[in-house]
């Protein structure tokens, strides 16, 4: 079943056509990657799916209904969780406080760090334990986010995106700028999102080796346009992708 379907999406900024007639079908329980060189339009396309921008043309369907112009917060309620390319957590708060904010804001009680009934507080704490356990950050619970490694900050963001109990998690370059070992931690958690939580993952990434090893399906963009869509094997064998983007040595390395 297709969970998220983008059809003929277009988006321009003044004279720049950032996304031009791009379609993608994200299947339920799949890990789907969007790749392409810098400036290809990946983030803009992604933002039209999350509702951060509305497209100028085309439609977006999610979980059986059209959401093309649904506001971002309604999409979160409908089951979309996302993290931004720029960190969207509060560095001066602890990991635990960030998650409290995420969970309380979902419950419609934004920025309420203390309070609620005892039962509510216990439920929130249990949920925080569950989320931190899932991303292996339980031991960093009381640390300020600013003091964590970049990889742990990303994991904290992923935990935040899970706090709204999404069906799909949208991640824009979750591994950007991370060292090898930290990249592996994120890769493991993305696999677990599908395997242990049964979620669907759509992520933007430019590390080809990561994409080819992690994704079930890959959408390749180049200069705002859809260049190819297929399985890792199809994409690494695709001549247009090889010519335009991948580079022979990267593909042969896999």
Ligand X SMILES: Nc1ncnc2c1ncn2[C@@H]1O[C@H](COP(=O)(O)OP(=O)(O)O)[C@@H](O)[C@H]1O
Q: Which stretch binds Mg ion (CB under 5 A): 43-51, 89-97, 215-223, 239-247?
A: 43-51
Q: Which stretch binds ligand X (CB under 6 A): 1-9, 34-42, 72-80, 96-104?
A: 34-42
> Least distance from C-beta 218 to ligand X, angstroms?
14
Identify residues 7-26 at the interface with ligand X (CB under 6 A).
13, 16, 18
The number of CA neighbours under 13 Å toward the Cβ of 60 is 25
User: Beta strand 2-13 with 57-62: parallel, antiparallel or unpaired?
Assistant: antiparallel
> Least distance from C-beta 42 to Mg ion, angstroms?
5
Q: How far does Cα 86 stand from its chain's mean position?
A: 12
> Least distance from C-beta 176 to ligand X, angstroms?
10
Closest CA to 166 of 117, 202, 116, 139: 202
Helix (H, G, I), strand (E, B) or coil at 191: helix
User: Looking up tokens 């992923």, which residue turns up?
Assistant: 158
Does the footprint of Mg ion cover residue 50 (CB under 5 A)? Answer: no
Among 20, 24, 26, 41, binds ligand X (CB under 6 A): 41
Name which of ligand X, Mg ion, none residue 117 binds, using a CB cut-off of 5 to 8 Å depending on partner kind: none
> Least distance from C-beta 97 to Mg ion, angstroms?
29
Contact between 201 and 31 (Cβ < 8 Å):
yes
Phi and psi at 107, nearest 5°, equal -80, 5
Helix (H, G, I), strand (E, B) or coil at 56: coil
Does the footprint of ligand X cover residue 40 (CB under 6 A)? Answer: yes
Q: Please, which residues have CB within 8 angstroms of residue 239's CB and are 6 or more apart in sequence?
A: none
User: By rule CB under 5 A, what count of residues binds Mg ion?
Assistant: 2
Among 43, 94, 161, 200, binds Mg ion (CB under 5 A): 43
Footprint of ligand X (CB under 6 A): 13, 16, 18, 36, 38-44
């Amino acid at each position: 079943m297709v969970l998220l379907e983008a059809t003929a999406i277009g988006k321009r900024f003044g004279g720049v056509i950032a996304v031009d007639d791009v379609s993608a079908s994200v299947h339920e329980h799949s890990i789907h990657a969007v790749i392409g060189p810098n400036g290809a339009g990946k983030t803009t396309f992604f933002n039209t799916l999350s509702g951060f921008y509305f497209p100028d043309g085309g439609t977006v369907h999610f979980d059986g209904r059209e959401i093309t112009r649904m506001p971002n917060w309604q999409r979160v309620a409908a089951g979309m969780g996302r993290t931004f390319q720029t960190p969207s957590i509060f560095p001066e708060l602890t990991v635990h406080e960030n998650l409290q904010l995420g969970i309380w804001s979902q419950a419609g009680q934004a920025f309420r760090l203390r309070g609620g009934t005892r039962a509510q507080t216990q439920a929130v704490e249990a949920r925080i334990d569950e989320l931190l356990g899932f991303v292996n950050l339980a031991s960093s619970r009381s640390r300020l986010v600013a003091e964590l490694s970049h990889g742990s900050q990303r994991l904290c963001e992923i935990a935040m995106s899970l706090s709204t109990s999404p069906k799909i998690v949208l991640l824009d370059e979750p591994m950007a700028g991370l060292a090898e070992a930290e990249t592996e931690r994120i890769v493991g958690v993305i696999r677990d999102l599908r395997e242990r939580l049964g979620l669907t993952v759509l992520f933007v990434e430019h590390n080809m080796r990561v994409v080819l090893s992690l994704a079930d399906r890959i959408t390749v963009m180049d200069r705002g346009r859809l260049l190819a869509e297929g399985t890792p094997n199809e994409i690494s064998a695709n001549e247009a992708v090889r010519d335009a983007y991948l580079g022979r040595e990267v593909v042969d390395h896999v």
